[in-house]
């Protein structure tokens, strides 16, 4: 059902994201699945590079956040079927930000809005949208996700 909804939106899940260091993409603990932070890589290549408000526009940042979320969902799929998600709990969004840039919430909305479109009410979540100076591999955005799943 989740992947069907993504297809209706013209989106598809990538393969399981390959870690860029020593960690696993996702881990199930009880009825929760945590993802590691996901950056906006598509087929191993970064969608955009740099800081939002400098090299990257807010709209491009939103696209990056959506790509990060697709990578998060792919990571979750590597440990449980996505149709077992009963609720999205938390989204943490990190935005590499130019000095003075303060619109991180608009950027992270790219991820949050995708969750609402895909999961409906189950996609409503708590969230943090934080501006940072730099992210791994010069990524403009990094997202991590926590979901509750049916046992």
pLDDT in tens, the chain (151 residues): 999 999 999 999 999 988 889 999 999 999 999 999 999 999 989 999 999 999 999 999 999 999 999 999 999 999 999 999 999 999 999 999 999 999 999 999 999 999 999 999 999 999 999 999 999 999 999 999 999 999 8
CB of 96 closer than 8 Å to CB of 140: yes
- Cα distances (angstroms) measured from residue 50 to each of 15, 58, 132, 134: 24, 12, 12, 8
Q: pTM of the full predicted structure?
A: 0.97
**The CATH classification of domain 2-149, taken from the options 2.40.30.170, 3.40.50.2300, 3.30.1330.40, 3.30.460.80:** 3.30.1330.40
Q: Provide CB contacts within 8 A for 40, sequence distance 6+.
A: 46, 47, 48, 63, 64, 65, 67, 68, 71, 139, 140, 141
Contact 91, 145 (CB under 8 A): yes
């Amino acid at each position: 059902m989740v992947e069907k909804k993504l297809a209706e939106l013209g989106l598809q899940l990538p393969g399981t994201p390959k870690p860029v260091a020593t960690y696993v993409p996702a881990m199930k603990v009880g009825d929760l699945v945590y993802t590691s932070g996901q950056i906006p890589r598509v087929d191993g290549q970064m969608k955009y590079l740099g800081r939002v408000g400098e090299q990257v526009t807010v709209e491009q940042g939103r696209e990056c956040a959506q790509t990060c979320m697709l990578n998060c969902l792919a990571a979750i799929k590597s440990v449980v079927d996505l149709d077992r998600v009963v609720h999205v709990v938390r989204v943490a969004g990190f935005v590499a930000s130019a000095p003075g840039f303060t619109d991180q919430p608009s950027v992270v909305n790219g991820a949050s809005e995708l969750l609402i479109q895909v999961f409906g009410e189950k996609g409503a979540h708590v969230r943090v949208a934080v501006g940072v100076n730099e992210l791994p591999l010069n990524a403009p955005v990094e997202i991590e996700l926590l979901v509750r799943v049916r046992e």
